[in-house]
Amino acid sequence: MEIKSVGVIGAGQMGNGIAHVCALAGYDVLLNDVKAEALDKALELIGANMDRQVSREKITAADRDAAMQRIATTTTLTDLGQSDLVIEAATEREAVKDAIFSELVPALKPDTILTSNTSSISITRLASRTDRPEKFMGFHFMNPVPVMSLVELIRGIATDEETFEACMGVVERLNKTAATAEDFPAFIVNRILMPMINEAVYVLYEGVGNVRSIDKAMKLGTNHPMGPLELADFIGLDTCLAIMNVLHDGLADTKYRPCPLLTKYVEAGWLGRKTGRGFYDYRGDEPKPTR
């Protein structure tokens, strides 16, 4: 099927990035969030990010203006029912995603493809609670979406070939590269990345190194562009913990046990950049380690 319109659920850092790239690729985008102020903030951020692309000559001013015109917003979830493709990018909690799909599915066109940007939750399980498991896929973008070239495509056990090919076509039109993953906890990227971050938190927890030394060691010793604790703050410590719990519960292996210190930070509400504090404190002019 030809996809012309895309509905995006969630206007946070992933949702606004997905709306951004889809609009630039020529899709009509309807961006949904429960909060009108989140939608206003998303449009402002998308505009600022596109302005940056214009200044760097990645796109033209005409490209930016046309893309911004293609983005509409709504606080009514069922308005997305007429979209050809829906990408859910809400918080990484299965109960939240299930509630969204339960409300949205009755409003969908029969041929609408339903996808989730989940970074770890079972696609098969999410799909089974909808009326279209054969038209359901994992569509996992990397953060920040306008910059990162990879998209993980994850088939559930019931996903049909037509749905997969349609989603592959969207990835190509976005000028991104797809990696296909099997539907096992955390897929490919986070199956490898999150245990590394969790181990870095254990190194901090056990006093082997402090925040600065751990990040410096990985940046200079392994040529990583960001240290693991800096990266955890960027992703969100609540998201890191949620993915580690999915791995631990889904694979029943103690090597995926979340570090107690990671849990403690999340309990404190120190979730990283988005809350102003995580492994670094971002409330001053320069980020300062909190341990």
Active-site residue set = 119, 140, 152, 190
CB-based burial, 235-270: b 16+ in 10 Å, e otherwise: bbbbbbbbbbbbbbeeeeeeebebbebbeebbeeeb
Q: Which long-range contacts (CB under 8 A, 24 or more apart) does 207-211 make?
A: 210/289, 210/291, 211/279, 211/280, 211/289, 211/290, 211/291
Adjacent-strand bridge partners of 114: 86, 136
Instruction: Please indicate if the annotation marks 12 as binding a ligand.
Output: yes
Instruction: Please indicate if the annotation marks 264 as binding a ligand.
Output: no
Q: Residue 197: name the closest of 151, 266, 243 by CA.
A: 243
Instruction: Please indicate if the annotation marks 92 as binding a ligand.
Output: yes
Instruction: Please indicate if the annotation marks 11 as binding a ligand.
Output: yes
Instruction: Please indicate if the annotation marks 274 as binding a ligand.
Output: yes
DSSP secondary structure letter of residue 257:
P
Adjacent-strand bridge partners of 178: 151
Instruction: Please indicate if the annotation marks 10 as binding a ligand.
Output: yes
- Tokens at residue 284, please? 């001053």
Q: State how far the Cα of 148 lies from the Cα of 189, in Å rounded to an integer.
A: 13
Instruction: Please indicate if the annotation marks 97 as binding a ligand.
Output: yes
Instruction: Please indicate if the annotation marks 119 as binding a ligand.
Output: yes
Alpha helices in 120-160 (DSSP H): 123-128
Which residues are documented as binding site?
10-15, 33, 92, 97, 119, 143, 274
Which residues are documented as binding site for NAD(+)?
10-15, 33, 92, 97, 119, 143, 274
